[in-house]
């Protein structure tokens, strides 16, 4: 069994959603990890959920990255184990330096909650291995600061290292500024670290695992992860 | 420092009457000191005591087999929904604070209503808001709208409770007096009900949450006055919300309530520490003694009067069993919240407040909380009432172009899609939102771990209530119930927010009384208990009062996912049936107001018996799996309703329209297309079920007309064999979804 | 003439500053116990074209009052400099 | 000794400032066509207790670098004053 740990920061609010989605569809083995904990032993994957850790005060993710658990998450990541940061989790990964770049406010200066489409463009991470080229994943976003920023040099590096994992697109998989909900550089919806085991993404896969909620495309990302982890375990 | 001496003059300045002041003196057997006077003045303000409305609120039916906590007994009512589960819900106004500072006013409104729900031991799982503004073209309205929406978005999104629905109207009656009513619903297990009571001599009184500042002192009395120039000067009373703090409070309190340590719990809302201490003591039949010096304070040099009357947000009072203190402190510590033991429960029924050991308030808690005066205000039928009814609508010109009128109705901001608003709210967090905003007449949320779902809605048409408060009140309930039924639910409870002008004016009180009677009679007819609500008076400025607006929040239970029904058409070829009467008049309609500038006319006939029959018929059809889509026929009449079914049913690249022919009733076309008669639902069904359904309806003497069928990408509406509207679905789709944004840009 | 206006907007002293409080606590958690009373405000830079410094200043106050500052809870102060100087 | 530190955090010039752009546009809409290039930043006030101004300054820079400023997108400058003076 693959064991998941969902970190709870003060102000996390998608922690239960992630927990529920994992438990319902992917694994009986899922725990909450309190942000003051310094023990992440025994987990196969750590999820940094969405929400408003510390109210998003100062900057999104800026305070949460000092939670005691984060130094353990860093060690976990540098051991090559998978970490996924969703929305606020992505913002925390940026602030903690586990992923490059920073978040700015959406160009509309408004919070935006709606379904969008994203297209996987990197098939070498555990999260995206199982996805298909040209597939358009129907998935919700819900954020006020999802406008991903990185300077030109950094962007080139991302591209060169194949670190862009998801881009905003339309229902036919066409990537363009027209379908970018927040103004992010290069229509980026998700990136990974150089090693590919740390993923940050603004859209919420945990919100679209159950067909009852309108889309189950989010399952594909978790399924890909499970597949990779199972392969690794059997190896 | 020497306290101000209390005289009748000072009492009058506090908004108390001479009579009230003398009652206070006789309760105490002496003249109150300045702090005590402040305490009485807030507790006996309209906002806290409901002194002008209480007598009439008794008209509401409040009992029923499923009622677990009754209206008026606690911070919110509770309704049993089976499986050992219950729901707690309430609606509340934050009109006056939002008029002064829309962002913070709306935000703290959300914070307040959430506290009312988790105080009951329920986990809040859904928010809604019912908003009313002046016309968008009027000065300041956009700023208000923008601020209110941002405020709700800021607070609700951060705390992680989905805002799943609501309503917005734009009408000049609300100019200068926006209505911001917010609704919260929570879920709990039967055994987890928490009460706001203090009992058990020697139990500890804890203060938890944000530190106290000089926020909103006189806020409660402020909410009970008309807005005028002077209210500008009261601006320091604006409170700032801290949704992060409240998120911690929700989690910590719900965790705490899972222990045996808590005797009672209550939020500090209006009248803050004063209200929470005297109410808990009064409910528990006990007394409370607290030491103000222990209260965490944000500002230096606060005097007892200020500490007691402060309306700082995000604070709770918890009565803790003696001996469980350390358990309680450990939980709050985990959540980085300060919990301070500020006093204990006593047995003398007194609210006793000390400041550095010296007694500054010593009053009977019950008198303060429950013995506020009750007034029976005089009322008088306003002159406009009969005058409006006799307007001769036959003189109103029919539209030159039906298509143009139709499109301008579709782009009316009160009718057009509210996407611009709900996309700013996180409506999906908690992963329960089965029907997203804009898709059905009610929001639908699932209850994880059960087969059941809830349908919730808020409704009120202020114009109807102005033209006929009694019928308007009935319609508000009927329409809310209809919305829930169209979504597949059975109504189980009502909460109401009564927004009116100055109750001292007899004409206003007449509106109030008649609306209440309408709401009450409708609730009785439907057999739905009222579980609580809120009254907001003085929504009035020198130009006049708002339309009487008794907003109804209605909750329905959906037994199975299979019953969930949305408004959009599903398949080309389906038959479109109109349940309910075809004929209408244009009295009171949006069409009459928008196109002809007439706020008047007699409302179309409303028959409660027919209403109930239509609703229960529709509900049965849905339960039998025969209905593909259902949409209540409301503002904009049949034409707009049908267009909405087409638009909502159309996705990118796949458009569904309608080909509809309405039979000649001998009436004018505008009344058939745009008239707003009640008791009507547009359903679509598989062609082969059509005949059977119509036959069943006939047997029950319910009008049911086959009016057309679903087609692809064309919207055609005929009346009396004449094509009056013919549009492509994509064009009306664009109008409907972009209108609000266009009028804002 | 071009002027550079800098505007500092702060919450009125009596108004709650949840951000400031939370940041203060975060700093304490990080061990900075000698740090306290963080208050958060806004800083804005604006270029204004006007015939004189006086005119620019008047304009600046006007836009503060009309748009940039929420007088219900905020106060502001501004400084103004000819653009060349500011660039230095 | 108590010191009052004020910190101005601004977006790096190379980073697009969506808020500044929107405010500029809003001002133009309102008829202020002589106003341009609005840039939005943050203003913070912090009390620091330290043995000397130098020590306070060092602390202030430290908390800026660790928490208050994100160097990927922001730069900052700070001023420091003994608390008594600042109060004046
Ligand atoms: N319009 C109304 N209909 C039914 N009950 C009402 C109405 N207005 C107020 N109540 C009930 O009266 C009680 C007093 O309200 P309360 O909770 O003290 O107000 P607040 O939350 O503003 O302090 C509550 O139980 C509330 O549900
Ligand atoms: Mg209350």
Q: What is the pLDDT of residues B144-202, one digit of tens each?
A: 999 999 999 999 999 999 999 999 999 999 999 999 999 999 999 999 999 888 888 89
Chains in touch with A (3+ beta-carbon pairs under 8 Å) read B, C, D
Q: For residue A55, which residues of chain C lie inside 8 Å, CB to CB? A: 18-19, 22
Residue boundaries of the structural domains of chain B: 63-94+103-168+177-187+417-562, 565-745
CATH number at residue C26: 3.30.1280.10
pLDDT of residue B336: 93
Asked if the Cβ–Cβ distance from B157 to A52 is below 8 Å, we say yes
Pairing of strands A4-8, A45-48: parallel
Give me ligand 1 centre to Cα B413, in Å.
31
Is residue B267 part of an annotated ligand binding site? Answer: yes
Cβ–ligand 1 distance for B304 under 6 Å, the answer no
For ligand 1, atom 2: residue with the closest CA = B533
Q: For residue A104, which residues of chain D lie inside 8 Å, CB to CB? A: 15-16, 18, 73
Mean pLDDT, residues B490-511 taken together: 97
DSSP B568: S
3-state DSSP call for residue B33? coil
Give me ligand 2 centre to Cα B185, in Å.
14
Kindly indicate the confidence band of residue B541, based on its pLDDT and cuts at 50, 70 and 90: confident
Give every strand in the sheet of B629-632, ordered side by side. B629-632, B681-685, B575-579, B704-712, B656-662, B715-719, B722-727
pLDDT of residue B218: 63
Residue boundaries of the structural domains of chain A: 4-234
Whether C19 and chain A come into contact, CB under 8 Å, resolves to: yes
D87 against B299, higher pLDDT: B299
Measuring CA to CA, how many Å separate A142 from each of A2, B121, B427, B739? Answer: 28, 28, 9, 23
What proportion of chain A, given as a percentage, has pLDDT over 70?
99
> In CATH, which of 1.10.3450.40, 3.40.630.10, 3.30.1330.10, 3.20.20.140 is domain B63-94+103-168+177-187+417-562?
3.30.1330.10
3-state helix, strand, coil in chain D (%, to 5): 40, 40, 25
pLDDT in tens, D4-36: 999 999 999 999 899 999 999 999 999 999 999
pLDDT of residue C87: 56
For ligand 1, atom 10: residue with the closest CA = B533
Q: For residue B160, which residues of chain A lie inside 8 Å, CB to CB? A: 13-14, 51-52
Is residue B377 part of an annotated ligand binding site? Answer: no
What proportion of chain B, given as a percentage, has pLDDT over 70?
97
Q: Which domain holds residue D71?
A: 2-86
Q: For residue A147, which residues of chain D lie inside 8 Å, CB to CB? A: 18
Asked if the Cβ–Cβ distance from A63 to C19 is below 8 Å, we say no
Whether C31 and chain A come into contact, CB under 8 Å, resolves to: no
What proportion of chain A, given as a percentage, has pLDDT over 90?
96
Asked if the Cβ–Cβ distance from A63 to C40 is below 8 Å, we say no
Whether C61 and chain D come into contact, CB under 8 Å, resolves to: no
Quick one: tokens of B108?
A: 């703290």
Element (H, E) at B454: strand B453-459
pTM of the entire structure? 0.95
pLDDT in tens, A139-164: 999 999 999 999 999 999 999 999 99
- Minimal Cα–Cα distance from B672 to chain A, Å? 36
| Mean pLDDT, chain B, integer | 94
**Vertex D76: Cα angle to D15 and D69 (nearest 5):** 75
User: Which residue of A61, A63, A67, A105 is the best one to mutate when testing the D interface, meaning the one whose CB has the most D CBs within 10 A?
Assistant: A105
B232 against B498, higher pLDDT: B498
Phi, psi of D39 (to 5 degrees): -125, 135
Cβ–ligand 1 distance for B156 under 6 Å, the answer no
Whether C1 and chain D come into contact, CB under 8 Å, resolves to: no
DSSP letters, A167-211, are: EEE-TT--B-GGG-SS--GGGEEEEE-TTS-EEEESS-GGGGSSG
- Looking at all shown ligands, the one closest to residue B90's CA atom is 1
Ramachandran assignment for B588, one of left (phi > 0), alpha (psi -120 to 50 degrees), beta (any other): left
**Residue B618 pLDDT > 60, yes or no?**
yes
Give me ligand 1 centre to Cα B461, in Å.
22
Asked if the Cβ–Cβ distance from C25 to B215 is below 8 Å, we say no
**Residue C25 pLDDT > 70, yes or no?**
yes
DSSP D65: I
Kindly indicate the confidence band of residue B233, based on its pLDDT and cuts at 50, 70 and 90: very low
**Residue B235 pLDDT > 50, yes or no?**
no
Q: For residue A109, which residues of chain D lie inside 8 Å, CB to CB? A: 18-19, 22
| Mean pLDDT, chain C, integer | 92
SS3 per residue for chain C: CEEEEEEEEEECCCCCCHHHHHHHHHHHHCCCCCEEEEEEEEEEEEEEECCCHHHHHHHHHHHHHHHHCCCCCEEEEEEEEEHHHHHC
Superfamily of domain B565-745: PurM-like C-terminal domain (3.90.650.10)
**Residue B499 pLDDT > 70, yes or no?**
yes
**Residue B229 pLDDT > 50, yes or no?**
no
Mean pLDDT, residues B354-361 taken together: 95
| Mean pLDDT, chain A, integer | 96
Nearest atom in ligand 1 to the alpha carbon of residue B275 is 23
**Residue B223 pLDDT > 70, yes or no?**
no
Cβ–ligand 1 distance for B532 under 6 Å, the answer yes
Quick one: tokens of B263?
A: 């005797």
Is residue B313 part of an annotated ligand binding site? Answer: yes
pLDDT in tens, A99-153: 999 999 999 999 999 999 999 999 999 999 999 998 999 999 999 999 999 999 9
CB-defined contacts A:D, below 8 A: 33
Q: Angle formed by the axes of helices B469-486 and B506-526, to 10°? A: 40
DSSP A135: -
pLDDT of residue B307: 93
Mean pLDDT, residues B278-303 taken together: 92
Mean pLDDT, residues A200-225 taken together: 96
Kindly indicate the confidence band of residue B220, based on its pLDDT and cuts at 50, 70 and 90: very low
Phi, psi of B662 (to 5 degrees): -95, 130
Cβ–ligand 1 distance for B110 under 6 Å, the answer no
**Residue B219 pLDDT > 50, yes or no?**
no
Taking a C-beta distance cutoff of 8 angstroms, is the pair A164, A146 a contact?
Answer: no
Pairing of strands A4-8, A30-34: parallel
Measuring CA to CA, how many Å separate B195 from each of B69, B126, B192, B256, B325? Answer: 10, 21, 10, 13, 19
Give me ligand 2 centre to Cα B374, in Å.
19
pLDDT of residue B2: 62
Q: For residue A63, which residues of chain C lie inside 8 Å, CB to CB? A: 22-23, 26
Lowest mean pLDDT among B218-222, B292-296, C84-88: B218-222
Is residue B50 part of an annotated ligand binding site? Answer: yes
**Residue B440 pLDDT > 90, yes or no?**
yes
Asked if the Cβ–Cβ distance from C42 to D38 is below 8 Å, we say no
Kindly indicate the confidence band of residue A186, based on its pLDDT and cuts at 50, 70 and 90: very high
**Residue B486 pLDDT > 90, yes or no?**
yes
Asked if the Cβ–Cβ distance from A58 to D68 is below 8 Å, we say yes
Alpha carbons B685 and B683: distance in angstroms, whole number = 7
Is residue B92 part of an annotated ligand binding site? Answer: yes
Q: Closest residue of C to A36, CA-based? A: C29
Asked if the Cβ–Cβ distance from D37 to C47 is below 8 Å, we say yes
Alpha helices in B530-677 (DSSP H): 590-596, 608-623, 637-649, 669-674
Asked if the Cβ–Cβ distance from B561 to A20 is below 8 Å, we say no
Quick one: tokens of A178?
A: 């027209």
Cβ–ligand 1 distance for B269 under 6 Å, the answer yes
- Minimal Cα–Cα distance from A212 to chain B, Å? 6
User: What length does chain C have?
Assistant: 88
Give me ligand 2 centre to Cα B116, in Å.
6
Select the residue of D26, D38, D67 nearest C44 (Cβ to Cβ).
D38
Is residue B96 part of an annotated ligand binding site? Answer: yes
Asked if the Cβ–Cβ distance from B236 to C25 is below 8 Å, we say no
Chain B residues with CB within 8 Å of chain A CB = 150, 153, 157-160, 242-245, 247-248, 335-336, 422-431, 433-434, 436, 446, 448, 561, 652-653
The single residue listed with the structure tokens 């529709």 is: B618
> In CATH, which of 1.10.260.40, 3.30.70.2190, 3.40.50.880, 2.40.10.10 is domain A4-234?
3.40.50.880
User: Which residue of B105, B214, B216, B240 is the best one to mutate when testing the C interface, meaning the one whose CB has the most C CBs within 10 A?
Assistant: B240
Give me ligand 1 centre to Cα B444, in Å.
26
Phi, psi of B736 (to 5 degrees): -60, -45
Alpha helices in B185-343 (DSSP H): 219-222, 229-233, 243-257, 272-284, 304-309, 325-334
C84 against C42, higher pLDDT: C42
CB-defined contacts B:C, below 8 A: 35
pLDDT of residue D86: 61
Closest CA to A141 of A99, A108, A164: A108
Closest CA to B237 of C69, C71, C15, C19: C15
pLDDT in tens, B76-104: 999 999 999 999 999 999 999 999 999 99
**Residue B586 pLDDT > 90, yes or no?**
yes
Longest dimension (CA), chain A: 48
The contacts of residue B635 (CB under 8 Å, 6+ apart) are B414, B415, B461, B589, B590, B676
Quick one: tokens of B461?
A: 């048409």
- Minimal Cα–Cα distance from A132 to chain B, Å? 23
Taking a C-beta distance cutoff of 8 angstroms, is the pair A138, A217 a contact?
Answer: yes
Taking a C-beta distance cutoff of 8 angstroms, is the pair B217, B312 a contact?
Answer: no
Q: For residue A207, which residues of chain B lie inside 8 Å, CB to CB? A: 428-429, 431
The contacts of residue B333 (CB under 8 Å, 6+ apart) are B339
**Residue C86 pLDDT > 90, yes or no?**
no
Kindly indicate the confidence band of residue C84, based on its pLDDT and cuts at 50, 70 and 90: confident
Taking a C-beta distance cutoff of 8 angstroms, is the pair C80, C4 a contact?
Answer: yes
Is residue B536 part of an annotated ligand binding site? Answer: yes
pLDDT in tens, B35-77: 999 999 999 988 888 999 999 999 999 999 999 999 888 889 9
In the residue annotation, B47 being an active-site residue is answered as: yes
Cβ–ligand 1 distance for B267 under 6 Å, the answer no
3-state DSSP call for residue B106? helix
SS3 per residue for B653-719: CECEEEEEEECCCCCCHHHHHHCCCCCCEEEEECHHHHHHHHHHHHHCCCCEEEEEEEEECCEEEEE
In the residue annotation, B596 being an active-site residue is answered as: no
**Residue B297 pLDDT > 60, yes or no?**
yes
pLDDT of residue B225: 53
**Residue B391 pLDDT > 90, yes or no?**
no
Taking a C-beta distance cutoff of 8 angstroms, is the pair A37, A227 a contact?
Answer: no
């Amino acid at each position: 069994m693959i064991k998941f740990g969902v970190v709870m920061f003060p102000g996390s609010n998608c922690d239960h959603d992630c927990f529920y989605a994992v438990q319902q569809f992917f694994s009986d083995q899922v725990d909450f990890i309190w942000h003051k904990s310094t023990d992440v032993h025994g987990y196969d994957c750590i999820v940094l959920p969405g929400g408003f850790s510390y109210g998003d005060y100062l900057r999104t993710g800026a305070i949460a990255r000092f939670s005691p658990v984060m130094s353990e998450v860093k060690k976990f990541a540098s051991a090559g184990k998978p970490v996924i940061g969703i929305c606020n989790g992505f913002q925390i990964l940026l602030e903690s330096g586990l992923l490059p770049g920073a978040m700015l406010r959406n160009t509309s200066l408004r919070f935006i909650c709606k379904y969008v489409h994203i297209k996987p463009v990197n098939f070498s991470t555990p999260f995206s291995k199982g996805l298909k080229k040209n597939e358009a994943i129907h998935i919700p976003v819900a954020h006020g600061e999802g406008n991903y920023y990185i300077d030109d040099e950094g962007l080139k590096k991302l591209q060169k290292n194949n670190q862009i994992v998801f881009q905003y697109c339309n229902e036919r998989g066409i990537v363009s500024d027209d379908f970018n909900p927040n103004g992010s550089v290069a229509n980026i919806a998700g990136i990974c670290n150089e090693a590919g085991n740390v993923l940050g993404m603004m859209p919420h896969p945990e919100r679209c695992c159950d067909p009852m909620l309108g889309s189950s495309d989010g399952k594909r990302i978790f399924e890909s992860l499970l597949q990779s982890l199972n392969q690794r375990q059997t190896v | 420092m020497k306290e101000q001496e209390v005289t009748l003059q000072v009492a009058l300045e506090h908004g108390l009457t001479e009579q009230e002041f003398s009652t206070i003196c006789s309760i105490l057997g002496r003249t109150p000191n300045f702090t005590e006077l402040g305490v009485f003045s807030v507790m006996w303000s309209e906002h806290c005591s409901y002194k002008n409305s209480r007598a009439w609120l008794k008209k509401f039916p409040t009992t029923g087999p499923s009622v677990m906590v009754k209206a008026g007994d606690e911070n919110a009512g509770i309704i049993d929904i089976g499986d050992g589960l219950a729901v707690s819900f309430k609606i509340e106004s934050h009109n006056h604070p939002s008029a002064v500072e829309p962002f913070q006013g709306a935000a703290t409104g959300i914070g307040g209503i959430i506290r009312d729900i988790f105080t009951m031991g329920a986990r809040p799982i859904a928010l809604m808001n019912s908003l009313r503004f002046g016309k968008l073209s009027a000065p300041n309205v956009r700023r208000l709208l923008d601020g209110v929406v941002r405020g709700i978005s800021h607070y609700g999104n951060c705390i992680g409770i989905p805002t799943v629905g609501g309503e917005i109207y734009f009408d000049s009656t609300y100019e200068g007096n926006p209505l911001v009513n917010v609704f919260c619903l929570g879920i709990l297990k039967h055994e987890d009900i928490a009460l706001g009571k203090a009992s058990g001599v020697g139990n500890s009184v804890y203060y938890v949450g944000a530190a106290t500042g000089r926020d909103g002192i006189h806020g409660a009395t402020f909410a009970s006055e008309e807005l005028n120039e002077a209210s500008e000067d009261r601006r320091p009373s604006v409170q700032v919300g801290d949704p992060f703090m409240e998120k911690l409070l929700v989690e910590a309190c719900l965790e705490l309530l899972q222990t045996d340590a808590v005797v009672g719990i209550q939020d500090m809302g209006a009248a803050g520490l004063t209200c929470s201490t005297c109410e808990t003591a009064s409910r528990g039949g006990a007394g409370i003694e607290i030491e103000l010096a222990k209260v965490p304070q944000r500002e230096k040099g606060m005097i007892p009067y200020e500490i007691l009357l402060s309306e700082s947000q995000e604070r709770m009072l918890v009565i803790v069993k003696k001996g469980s203190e350390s358990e309680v402190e450990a939980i709050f510590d985990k959540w980085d919240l300060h919990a301070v033991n500020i006093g204990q429960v006593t047995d003398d029924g007194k609210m006793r407040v000390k400041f550095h050991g010296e007694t500054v308030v010593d009053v009977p808690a019950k008198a303060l909380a429950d013995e506020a005066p009750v007034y029976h205000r005089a009322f008088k039928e306003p002159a406009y009432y009969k005058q409006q009814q006799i307007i001769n609508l036959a003189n109103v010109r029919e539209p030159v172009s039906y298509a143009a009128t139709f499109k301008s109705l579709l782009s009316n901001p009160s009718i057009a899609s509210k996407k611009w608003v709900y996309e700013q709210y996180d409506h999906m967090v908690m992963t329960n939102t089965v029907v997203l905003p804009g898709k059905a007449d009610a929001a639908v949320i699932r209850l994880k771990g059960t087969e059941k779902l809830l349908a919730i809605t808020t409704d009120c048409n202020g114009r109807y209530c102005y033209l006929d408060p009694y019928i308007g009140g009935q319609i508000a309930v009927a329409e809310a119930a209809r919305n829930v039924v169209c979504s597949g639910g059975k109504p189980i409870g009502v909460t109401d927010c009564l927004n009116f002008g100055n109750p001292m004016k007899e004409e206003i009180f007449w509106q109030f009384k008649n609306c209440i009677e309408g709401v009450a009679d409708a609730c009785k007819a439907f057999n739905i208990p009222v579980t609580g609500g809120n009254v907001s008076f003085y929504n009035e400025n020198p130009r006049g009062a708002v339309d009487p607006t008794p907003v109804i929040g209605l909750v329905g239970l959906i037994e199975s996912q299979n019953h969930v029904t949305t408004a959009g058409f599903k398949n080309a070829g389906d038959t479109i049936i109109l349940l309910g009467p075809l004929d209408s008049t244009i009295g009171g309609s949006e069409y009459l107001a928008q196109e002809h500038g007439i706020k008047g006319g007699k409302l179309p006939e409303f028959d409660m018996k027919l209403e109930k029959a239509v609703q229960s018929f529709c509900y049965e059809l849905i339960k039998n799996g025969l209905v593909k889509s259902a949409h209540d026929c409301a503002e904009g009449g049949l034409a707009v309703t049908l267009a909405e079914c087409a638009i909502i049913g159309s996705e990118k690249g796949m458009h569904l329209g309608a080909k509809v022919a309405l039979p000649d009733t001998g009436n004018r076309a505008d009344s058939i297309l745009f008239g707003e008669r009640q008791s009507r639902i547009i359903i679509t069904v598989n062609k082969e079920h059509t005949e059977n359904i119509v036959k069943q309806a006939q047997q029950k003497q319910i009008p049911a007309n086959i009016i057309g069928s679903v087609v692809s990408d064309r919207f055609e509406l005929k009346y009396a064999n004449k094509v009056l509207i013919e549009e492509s679905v994509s064009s009306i789709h664009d109008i409907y979804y972009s209108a609000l944004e266009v009028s804002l840009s | 003439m071009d002027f550079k206006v800098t505007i500092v907007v702060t919450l009125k002293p009596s108004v709650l500053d949840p951000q400031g409080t939370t940041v203060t606590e975060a700093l304490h958690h990080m061990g900075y116990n000698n740090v306290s009373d963080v208050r958060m405000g806004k800083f804005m830079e604006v270029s204004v074209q006007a015939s004189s410094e006086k005119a620019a200043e008047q304009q600046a106050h006007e836009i503060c009052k009309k748009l940039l500052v929420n007088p219900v809870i905020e106060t502001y102060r501004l400084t103004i400099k000819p653009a060349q100087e500011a660039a230095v």
